[in-house]
Amino acid sequence: MDHPETAERAAALHRQAVAAQREGRVREAVALFQQALALRKDVDIYLDFGGLLAGLSQWGPAGAVYAAALKLAPDSPDAHYGVALSHHAQGRPAEAEPHYRAVLAGCPGLGAVWNNLGVALQEQGRPAEAETAYREALRHQPEDAGTWKNLAVALDSLCRTDEAEAAYRAALSRNPEHAVSLNNLGGLVLAAGRPDEAWRIGCRMVALNPADRNGWMLLGNAAHAAGRRGEAVRASAVAVRLAPDDPAPRHNLANALAAAGRRDEAVAEYRAVLGLQPDSPAAVDLAMELLGQHDMAGALALLRGALARHPDHVLAWRILGQTLAGALRPDAALDALRRAVALDPGDPAGWEDLAAAATLADRVAPSIEALRRVRRLSPAYNPALAQLVQQQRHACDWRDLPALEGDLIGRMRAGALGVPPFGLLAVHTTPADQRAAAERWARQKARGVPAVARPAVAGDGRLRIGYLSADFHEHATAYLMAELLERHDRMRFAVTAYSTGIDDGSPMRRRLTAAVERFVDLRDRSDRDAAQAIAADGIDILVDLKGYTAFARTAILAARPAPVQVNWLGYPGTMGADFIDVILADAATIPPGEESFYSEAVVRLPHCYQPNDRHRAIAERTPSRADCGLPEDGFVFCCFNSPYKLTPALFDVWARLLRAVPGSVLWLYAGNPLVAGNLRREAVARGVAPERLVFAPPRPLAEHLARHRRADLFLDTLPYNAHTTASDALWTGLPVVTCRGATFAGRVAASLLETVGLPELVTDSPAAYEVLALGLARDPARLAGLKARLVAARTASPLFDGDRFARDLEDAYRAIWQRFAPAGDPR
């Protein structure tokens, strides 16, 4: 038992400590509390001392004092509450929770304690229990704005956003100036796609406190979401001035600058963010901006650094994969994208990227599987369906292809967006279908692309022609174009090649570079920069050789760098674009009367629209039949078209031809092993032994041309004909049987055959095609006569007359310029 004098002395010191605390003499109060406790261990002294320390935010000592009080009075609500507050303030909500509950067990009507319990539960990741606690708190203190705000946070984390919004509004009805509720409500409505409402909330925040960075950040984010680029930059810049050392406002400003096209300033801000916060996700955004500046090495370094710190960063893996694919490193891209989809298998965009990389790597099977995953995750996503159709065609996987194609065509005719026009060329569609799809695609590609300024450039009287392509290397388009470029009249035409593709260091690349007056490599330039470079050169007629095929840079054309822009050779169909003025064709590919199916003005060349190179070398040595995998005897039907051009209906015809010509074989091109397996299965289903299909692997062009000598008859495809492959066959003396199709892509072989002087090899129905092919296989003398005519045509036909083609094309350019030239141009 305490001595009465000691107890009295302790009580006196206690009273003095409380008085000193009230008068602000904190240090003296601490000493007095300690002296009192040295004399007597009293619960009230501990509680008051704990309150003093808590008021000073000395939570560690405060906790120890409250814990001492709790030992003396285990049922004391005040002691439990002090311990709870101490644990909670030190970031230990799980330890605080039982003490809050102990308080509430004895005093269940304390709304503030229920609120604190809710916060502790929320911080432990238990929002449903936190909601219960907040609602109990509000039962006792319904006018407390802070508790309404906390309830809203819990509801939002439970994905009950409508209820969360209502709770924030309840908080603001109690306190219209509750800044946190305003800010959180603004973020909620912005995420719900209501940027104008978020803007109004941000304006309220700024009016209440112009020095609050959060209000300006909300304004910047709302303007950014609404596409008001200038306002987004201005508001975000104010937030940065208010908090220059906070990486969050700087990150927002960088995003706003990037969206406004102010790329250099955006890069500087992203770098500033990383200076403040090295592990910030801004590293990924900066990498994307560097990619826009074609700084691939810098982007790769940033991405790899970000992944070293955050190996589970899905977006970084995705962008790394996209970057590696853009650098034509598809195997490395596949590895990165497989990491991305493993981390987030429910994101269809990751699977779509994986499919694209697999396609680039010529890995058809994983591409098909990835596209099927996209379809399961996002059934209404049109690009995935279109790509799946195309990839299954590349693999000759026809098992469910008719249904997929029917679905694709139905969506396209219903006005679907995101259907790449190129994929429709090999499907049975009409010219009207192809124009409608191309027009939708062109609008998507041109959206947000401003026209570049075309400065006045002094000329020398020659017409300046620019050829834009990604295929100025070993490629089918280059094989066709090389001699034409060499034979342009330099006195009348200034010719520039604009390359957006790889430099493969090949002899063809060197030949093309030497063939033109200027060869400009734009591969590492942005679309905008590339367009400005073309405009600065004063090009009169820009000829696009890509259309909507792989690696096209349509945005360059959408920026209108030349006054006249032409679609030719690379894309056998309309581009449906108001930034393309002319399509070059001939009377076979676009017959008179079909102009309405083309958005461009149709200009026809007098012979075939397709150039040819009569200098294409054919290897002197002809491989033996055994070298080619062919039997020693028997008729050889062949088709070296890309496998995606083959169709089940066409294969039915070929199977009947094989059955009708004993000992015959069908020689096909197949760079992908899936093709051989699938086609052999299809052959067996049609009563043809699988060994009667022979597959030709890729070979250098001269060797590939030489092996044509071992074939007897080339069978064309429909609805997409042989184009360069038909020219190859005719150049080697191999007759081609074709069926005239309903669209440009299905009429090219007819144009080639009519120009080379063999119109009798053009049929107008699949039945006639089959009859003609069978008749030729059974009539060696007639076939020999056709081959002899082809030998003569190598020197006599307009198809292989490079000088004549160059003059015809130049006459067309002159006529186009006279029709479309800007007013007042004297040329």
Query: Given this model, what pLDDT does residue 682 score?
Result: 97
Domain contains 514: yes
Q: Which helix (H) or strand (E) holds 739?
A: strand 736-739
**For helices 282-292 and 296-309, what crossing angle results, to 10°?**
170
Q: Are residues 576 and 478 in the same domain?
A: yes
What does each C-alpha distance from 649 to 241, 671, 677, 696 come to in angstroms? 68, 22, 18, 22
- Token look-up 């009519």 returns 754
pLDDT at 823 over 80: no
**Mean pLDDT calculated for residue range 119-143:** 95
Residues 480 and 629 in one domain: no
Place of tokens 């020095």: 211
Q: Give the span between the Cα atoms of 436 and 410, in whole angstroms.
A: 13
Burial annotation 219-253 (CB, 10 A radius, 16+ → b, else e): bbbbbbbbebbebbbbbbbbbbebbeebbbbbbbb
Residues 65-81 have a mean pLDDT of: 91
Q: Which of 21-35, 456-470, 516-530 has the lowest mean pLDDT?
A: 21-35
Q: What are phi and psi for residue 469, nearest 5 degrees?
A: -160, 155
Cβ–Cβ under 8 Å, residues 214 and 182: no
Same domain, 645 and 782: yes
User: Does any domain span residue 44?
Assistant: no
Is pLDDT above 70 for 825?
A: no
Q: How many whole angstroms separate alpha carbon 21 and alpha carbon 24?
A: 5
Average pLDDT of 376-382?
Answer: 95
Contact between 13 and 35 (Cβ < 8 Å): yes
pLDDT at 409: 96
Please state the rounded mean pLDDT for residues 447-468. 94
pTM for the model stands at 0.78
H/E segment holding residue 507: helix 507-515
Confidence of residue 765 (pLDDT cuts 50, 70, 90): very high
Residue 4 pLDDT exceeds 80: no
pLDDT of residue 90: 94
What average pLDDT does this structure show over 28-47? Answer: 88
DSSP lists the bridge partners of residue 714 as 638, 736
Give the model's confidence band at 3: pLDDT under 50 very low, under 70 low, under 90 confident, else very high: low
Domain that holds residue 526: 463-604
Does the pLDDT at position 86 exceed 80?
yes
Question: How high is the pLDDT of residue 229?
Answer: 92
The Cα–Cα gap between 271 and 25 comes to 48
Q: Tell me: pLDDT of 1 over 60.
A: no
Pair 636, 749 in one domain: yes
Cα-flanking dihedrals φ and ψ of residue 612, to 5°?
Answer: -145, 160
Asked if residue 160 is part of any domain, the answer here is: no
Rounded-to-integer distance, Cα 556 and Cα 726, Å: 31
Claim to verify: residue 568 and residue 632 sit in the same structural domain: no
Do 365 and 395 form a contact (C-beta atoms < 8 A)? yes
Residues in the chain: 827
Which of 403, 404, 401 lies closest to 382, judged by CA? 404
Residues 522 and 662 in one domain: no
Please report the pLDDT score of residue 670 as a whole number. 85
Distance CA 647, CA 397 (A): 10
Nearest to 596 by CA among 605, 583, 606: 583
Q: Which pLDDT band, with edges at 50, 70 and 90, does 827 fall under? A: low
Tell whether 658 is covered by a domain: yes
- Cα 492 to Cα 103, 512, 608: the distances in Å are 96, 20, 23
d(CA 119, CA 114): 9
Asked if residue 46 has pLDDT above 90, the reply is: no
Do 676 and 796 lie in one domain? The reply is yes
Asked if 487 and 566 sit in the same domain, the reply is yes
Judge if 535 and 633 occupy the same domain: no
Query: Is 330 domain-assigned?
Result: no
For tokens 């995953």, the residue is 373
Across residues 764-793, what is the average pLDDT? Answer: 97
Task: Give the pLDDT score at 148.
Answer: 96
In a domain, 701, yes or no: yes
CATH number, domain containing residue 591: 3.40.50.11380
Same domain, 595 and 694: no
Please give the Cα distance from 467 to 539 (Å, whole number).
10
Cβ partners under 8 Å of residue 567, min gap 6 = 544, 547, 574, 575, 580, 582, 583, 584, 600
Q: Which two tokens stand for residue 375?
A: 């379809």
Query: Residue 163, exposed/middle/buried by CB under 10 A (0-12, 13-18, 19+)?
Result: middle
Q: What single DSSP character describes residue 550? A: T
**Tokens 């947000």 correspond to what residue?**
448
Asked whether residue 580 falls in the same domain as residue 497, the answer is yes
The answer, yes or no, to whether residue 824 has pLDDT greater than 70, is no
Mean local confidence (pLDDT), 37-41 = 87
Asked if 696 and 758 sit in the same domain, the reply is yes
Question: What is the rounded distance in angstroms from the CA atom of residue 825 to the CA atom of residue 827?
Answer: 6
Q: Which residues pair with 639 in a beta bridge?
A: 668
Q: For 580-590, what is the mean pLDDT?
A: 98
Number of separate domains in the chain: 2
Going by pLDDT thresholds of 50, 70 and 90, the confidence category of residue 26 is confident
- Residue tagged 């992203």 (tokens): 270
Give the CATH number of the domain where residue 723 resides.
3.40.50.2000
Q: Which helix (H) or strand (E) holds 583?
A: strand 582-585
What is the percent of the chain where pLDDT is above 70?
Answer: 99
Residue 826 has what pLDDT?
Answer: 59
Question: For 639-683, how does the pLDDT look when each residue is reduced to its tens digit (9 = 90+)?
Answer: 999 999 999 999 999 999 999 999 999 999 987 889 999 999 999
In a domain, 42, yes or no: no
pLDDT in tens, 255-285: 999 889 888 898 888 889 888 988 787 888 8
Let me know if residue 298 belongs to a domain.
no
Write the single-letter amino acid at 613. D
Q: Considering the chain, what is the average pLDDT of its residues?
A: 94
pLDDT at 37: 87
